[in-house]
Amino acid sequence: MDQLFEILVRALILVAVIPIHECAHGLAASWMGDYTARDMGRTTLNPLVHLDPLGSLLLLFAGLGWAKPVPVDTRNFRNPKAGMAVTALAGPAANILLALVVIILYKLLRLAGGISFLVEAALLIIIQTTVHLAVFNMIPIPPLDGSRLLTALLPDRSYYAIMRYERVIMAAMMLALFTGVLSLPIYRATDWIIAVLDRITFFLN
C-alpha cells in the first residue's frame, strides 16, 4: 500500500512538476533570445508534450527520471554561452522554487492543524522528489540539464570530445542508477537543499 501510494504521488509529480520544469527551460530560452521551444509548443504545461516514456517509467518506479529535452538553437541566443547556461539552470531552479512553495504550504497546514496523514505524506514525497529531480538533472550526462550546462562552461572542442562517448556515459549512468551508486550523493545533496529551504521558512516553524 505504501509503495502504491508513493507511485500515485509520483504520477502527480509527473503530470504537474515535470511540465513546470520543462516550461521553465522554454521560457528561459525565449528570454535569452531563442524562440525555438516556444514555436514548437514546449512552453505549455500540457504534460503530454513533455513526457519521455523511459524517463517517465523511471520516475514512477525509481523516483528519478527525465522528460524530452526542450529544443534549443544556440545561434539565436544573444550570448550563446550565457543563453545555454540560463536555459539549462532554469528547470532545476523551477524545481527548487516549487519545493519551497510546497514546504510553505506544508508548514501552513500544520500550523492550522488541518493536515491529514495522507496529505502530509504526499506533500513530503512531492518536496523530496521535486528536489531529487533538480539534483539529478544537474548530472552532466545527456539528456539531463547538466550536459547542456557543460556546453556553456567548456570550450566546444572539449565538450564534443566528451560527447563522443555519450552512449557509454549514458549506459554507465543507467547502471549506477539501478545499482544505487548514485543514490548516496543525490540523497545528500537533496537533504542539504531541503534543509536550506527549511531554514528559509523558519518563521513558519
> In this predicted model, what pLDDT tens digit does every residue of 24-80 receive, in sequence order?
999 999 999 999 999 999 999 999 999 999 889 989 988 888 899 899 998 999 898
Q: Tell me the average pLDDT across 11-21.
A: 94
Q: Tell me the average pLDDT across 145-166.
A: 76
Note the pLDDT of residue 139. Answer: 87
Q: Taking all residues of the chain, what is their mean pLDDT, rounded to a whole number? A: 89
Nearest to 42 by CA among 13, 63, 62, 22: 22
The predicted-structure confidence for 184-203, as pLDDT tens digits, reads as follows 888 899 999 999 999 999 98
Rounded distance, CA 53 to CA 59, Å?
10
Rounded distance, CA 32 to CA 148, Å?
15
Cβ atoms of 19 and 68 closer than 8 Å = no
What is the value of pTM for the model shown?
0.89
The predicted-structure confidence for 88-144, as pLDDT tens digits, reads as follows 999 999 999 999 999 999 999 999 887 888 999 999 999 999 999 999 899 887 778
Note the pLDDT of residue 153. Answer: 79
Cβ atoms of 59 and 13 closer than 8 Å = yes
Judged against a pLDDT cut of 60, whether residue 1 lies above it is answered with no
- The reply to whether omega before 155 is within 30° of 0 (cis) is no
Cβ atoms of 90 and 20 closer than 8 Å = no
- Count Cα atoms within 13 angstroms, Cβ side, for 179: 7
Judged against a pLDDT cut of 90, whether residue 174 lies above it is answered with no
Note the pLDDT of residue 149. Answer: 85
Cα dihedral 100/104/106/111 (nearest 10): 160
Rounded distance, CA 30 to CA 19, Å?
16
**Quick one: CA dihedral 195, 186, 110, 24, positive or negative?**
positive
Nearest to 106 by CA among 86, 121, 90: 121
Q: Which residues are catalytic?
A: 22
